[in-house]
């Protein structure tokens, strides 16, 4: 199994530009989570999907952030417009059963730098 695949690994963009982060969960997993990691705030849950449906987006910082999961094998996290304070590592994680029995598997992350 290839694990959770995220792209790109690194992204450098200018303030005001649109950024799209991508995630391919493990085949057969039906829950997908987006996290953000910063030195100041640690790991924060942004949004999670179950069976492609957004369940909880209370962690999404503001309207500039949006996430979609059009099918079971693909999700995107979009920031528009991006700001320097969005600079962080964004992780995607997937699970078979919302993490209850088998826990979570994380991708390698996307390091976003907004200049």
Partner 1 sequence: KQEVTQIPAALSVPEGENLVLNCSFTDSAIYNLQWFRQDPGKGLTSLLLIQSSQREQTSGRLNASLDKSSGRSTLYIAASQPGDSATYLCAATTNDYKLSFGAGTTVTVRA
* 48 vs 65, beta carbon nearer partner 1: 48
List all residues 6 or more positions away from 100 whose beta carbon is below 8 Å from its beta carbon: none
- Token pair listed for 6: 């995220």
Q: Which of residues 49-68 bind partner 1 (CB under 8 A)?
A: 50, 55-56
Among 21, 86, 91, 94, binds partner 1 (CB under 8 A): 91
Q: Is 8 a residue that touches partner 1 (CB under 8 A)?
A: no
The 10 Å Cβ neighbour count of residue 89 is 16
Q: How far is residue 2's CA from residue 21's CA, in Å, rounded to a whole number?
A: 18
Residue numbers at the binding site for partner 1 (CB under 8 A): 31, 33, 42-43, 45, 48, 50, 55-56, 91, 93, 98-109, 111
């Amino acid at each position: 199994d290839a694990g959770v695949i995220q792209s790109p690994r690194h992204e450098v963009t200018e303030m005001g530009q649109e950024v799209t982060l991508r995630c391919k969960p493990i085949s057969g997993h039906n829950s997908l989570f987006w996290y953000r990691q910063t030195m100041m705030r640690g790991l924060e849950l942004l949004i999670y999907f179950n069976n492609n449906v957004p369940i909880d987006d209370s962690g999404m910082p503001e309207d500039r952030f949006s996430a979609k999961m059009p099918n079971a094998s693909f999700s995107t996290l979009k920031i528009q417009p991006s700001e320097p304070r969005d600079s962080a590592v964004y992780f995607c994680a997937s699970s078979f059963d919302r993490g209850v029995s088998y826990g979570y598997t994380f991708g390698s992350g996307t390091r976003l730098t907004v200049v």
